[in-house]
Amino acid sequence: MVNVAIMGHGTVGSGVAELLIEKNERIAKGIKSDINVKYILALRTFDGLSYSDKFINDFNIILNDSEVDIVVETMGGLKPAYDFVKSCLLKGKSVVTSNKELVAAKGAELIKIAEDKNVNFLFEASVGGGIPVLRPMVQCLSANEIFEVKGILNGTTNYILNKMIMDNMDFSVALKLAQDKGYAEKDPTADIEGHDACRKICILAALAFGKHVYPEQVKTEGITNITLSDIDYASSLGYVIKLIGKAKKSSDGSVCVSVRPTLVPKEHLLSGVNGVFNAVSVTGDAVGEVIFYGQGAGKMATASAVVADVMDCAKHLNARKYLSWEEGDENYIKSVDEKTKLFVLFTSSDFDKTLLDITSAFGDVAVIKNKQSGEIALVTNEELESSLNKKIAGIFADSKKILHTL
C-alpha cells in the first residue's frame, strides 16, 4: 500500500483526488499496488464528498507522518508551496507537482534535493496540462541533440484568441468564458500577460538543454495588445495569431528564449491548434520535428498527468527517475539576431509613396491597404531581424505594431 497526501483542492487538486479515489481499482492494477489517499490539505473542509473525511488544514500532519510516501502539490504559487515541497523532499518523500511557477523558479534546487534524498520530484502536469511531453522528450528523444522547442503553451490565451478569430468575440468576454471553464490561473494576468507560458518554456528549455532558465531571463509579451483588426490583417496575409513560447539553441551553445504573440502561417500545424489545446514542437538532430498535442488545461486533463506521475513514483519508490538539469547563470540566455519575417502595421497619409518605399525596401511583398483608416499591413521577406528593424524605422516612423512570425 502506498500512501499519498494531496496539498490543495482547487481545480487540479480535486481532479487528482477524484481520479485517485474513484478509479482506484484501475490505478492499483496499473502499478500492482494499492494507492491510498490519506490526507487532503486545504484551507477548509468540503462536505458531501465520498472523501470528506480526508481533509486536514495542518501541513505538519503530512510532513511528520512517515507512512506518507508521495505528496502531490496542486496549490500553485510559490508561497507556501516552495517551503512545503522542499520540506517533504528533505523528509524523504517523493513529490509530484503541477505547479509551473514553482518548477520554473526553483526546479534545479528541488531536483538536487530529490537526488540527494533518493526520491522523485516529478512535474509532467506543469507543462501542457494533460499532454505527455516532458517524459517523452527526455526519454523517447534522448538519442537526439535538441535544437529547438516551441509551441502553444497556454490554454487560456489560445482559447481567447480562437474565440476572437472564429466568433469575433471581445477579449474580455472570451477571458470570462475561459475562467468559468477553469482554464485560467487564479489571477488571469499570468495567462494574458504571458507569464504562464514563460514558466512553461523555461521548464521545456531546462529539460531540453540541461540548464535552468529563469523566468526573469525571458523576453515575455502577452496578448493584451492584440486586437480584432490585427487578427483580420494577419488572416488576410495568410496567418493566424498565436501566443508562442520558443527556446532555441545556437551552434555556439547559446540559448535564446521568448514568449510573444506570433503570426503562424495557416499551413503550419500549430495554426490549427484551437481552443484550450496546446501543442509543443521539439526539433532534434536525428528525429527532426516532433509535435505533442492535447488539452493544455482543465481539471481532469491536468489530473491525468499528475496521477500518472503518482503512479510512476509509486512504482519507483526506491529508484530515481532522471528528469533533471543544472542551475542556470545570468549569461546563459542571449538575444540572437536571426533571419525572420516581421508583420508590420502602420498608418500612412500617402499610400502611393509608401507603397514605393515598401517595394524598394522589401521587394515584392503582399500588402493590405485600408483606405478608410489609413492603415497598411504587410509581412516582410526573410532577413536578419536587425536589418529589418533598420528598414522599418527608415520608412515607418509611426509604425503601430510589429509582430514576429513563426
Kindly tell me which of 179 and 254 has the beta carbon lying closer to ligand HSE: 179
The three-class DSSP label of residue 294 is: strand
Is the sign of the CA dihedral 62, 322, 105, 225 positive or negative? negative
The C-alpha atoms of residue 78 and residue 99 are separated, in whole angstroms, by 9
The three-class DSSP label of residue 252 is: coil
Kindly tell me which of 151 and 155 has the beta carbon lying closer to ligand HSE: 155
Q: Given the C-alpha cell 482559447, which residue does it identify? A: 159
CB of 156 to ligand HSE, least distance (A): 3
Q: Does 191 bind ligand HSE (CB under 6 A)?
A: yes
Q: Does 296 bind ligand HSE (CB under 6 A)?
A: yes
Judge whether 242 and 281 are in contact, CB under 8 Å.
no
Q: Does 101 bind ligand HSE (CB under 6 A)?
A: no
Q: Given the C-alpha cell 496521477, which residue does it identify? A: 307
Q: Does 280 bind ligand HSE (CB under 6 A)?
A: no
Q: How many residues bind ligand HSE (CB under 6 A)?
A: 11
Q: Does 154 bind ligand HSE (CB under 6 A)?
A: yes
Q: Does 295 bind ligand HSE (CB under 6 A)?
A: no
Judge whether 90 and 111 are in contact, CB under 8 Å.
no
The three-class DSSP label of residue 278 is: strand
Kindly tell me which of 155 and 284 has the beta carbon lying closer to ligand HSE: 155
Kindly tell me which of 18 and 383 has the beta carbon lying closer to ligand HSE: 18
The three grid cell numbers given for residue 90, joined into one nine-digit string = 528533505
Kindly tell me which of 261 and 284 has the beta carbon lying closer to ligand HSE: 261
Contacting range for ligand HSE; rule: CB under 6 A; set: 177-185, 228-236, 256-264, 287-295: 177-185
The three grid cell numbers given for residue 316, joined into one nine-digit string = 519507483
Kindly tell me which of 156 and 354 has the beta carbon lying closer to ligand HSE: 156
Residue from 103, 270, 297, 392 binding ligand HSE (CB under 6 A)? 297
Residue whose C-alpha is closest to residue 393's, from 333, 342, 330, 339:
342
* HEC string for 112-144: HHHHHHCCCEECHHHCCCCCCCHHHHHHHCCCC
Contacting range for ligand HSE; rule: CB under 6 A; set: 29-37, 179-187, 211-219, 260-268: 179-187
The three grid cell numbers given for residue 130, joined into one nine-digit string = 494533460
**188 preceded by a cis bond (ω within 30 of 0):** no
Residue whose C-alpha is closest to residue 137's, from 148, 245, 298, 129:
148
Active site residue 176: no
CB of 129 to ligand HSE, least distance (A): 5
Contacting range for ligand HSE; rule: CB under 6 A; set: 28-36, 149-157, 219-227, 343-351: 149-157
- What backbone phi and psi angles, to 5 degrees, belong to 352? -65, -45
Residue from 7, 19, 62, 184 binding ligand HSE (CB under 6 A)? 184
Residue from 129, 284, 294, 328 binding ligand HSE (CB under 6 A)? 129
Contacting range for ligand HSE; rule: CB under 6 A; set: 18-26, 183-191, 369-377, 391-399: 183-191
Residue whose C-alpha is closest to residue 392's, from 406, 379, 405:
379
Judge whether 185 and 156 are in contact, CB under 8 Å.
yes
CB of 30 to ligand HSE, least distance (A): 25
Give residue 198's identity as a one-letter amino acid code. Answer: C
CB of 191 to ligand HSE, least distance (A): 5
- Given 100, 200, 249, 341, the catalytic residue: 200
Q: Does 185 bind ligand HSE (CB under 6 A)?
A: yes
Residue whose C-alpha is closest to residue 137's, from 281, 307, 259:
281
Residue from 73, 101, 193, 196 binding ligand HSE (CB under 6 A)? 196
Kindly tell me which of 62 and 125 has the beta carbon lying closer to ligand HSE: 125
Q: Given the C-alpha cell 489545446, which residue does it identify? A: 277
Judge whether 378 and 238 are in contact, CB under 8 Å.
no
CB of 54 to ligand HSE, least distance (A): 25
The C-alpha atoms of residue 358 and residue 399 are separated, in whole angstroms, by 13
CB of 208 to ligand HSE, least distance (A): 19
Give whole-number Cα distances, 112 to 118, 134, 326, 372, in Å.
10, 18, 8, 60
Contacting range for ligand HSE; rule: CB under 6 A; set: 28-36, 70-78, 153-161, 365-373: 153-161
Q: Does 222 bind ligand HSE (CB under 6 A)?
A: no
Known catalytic residues are 200
Task: Return residues touching ligand HSE (CB under 6 A).
Answer: 129, 154-156, 183-185, 191, 196, 296-297
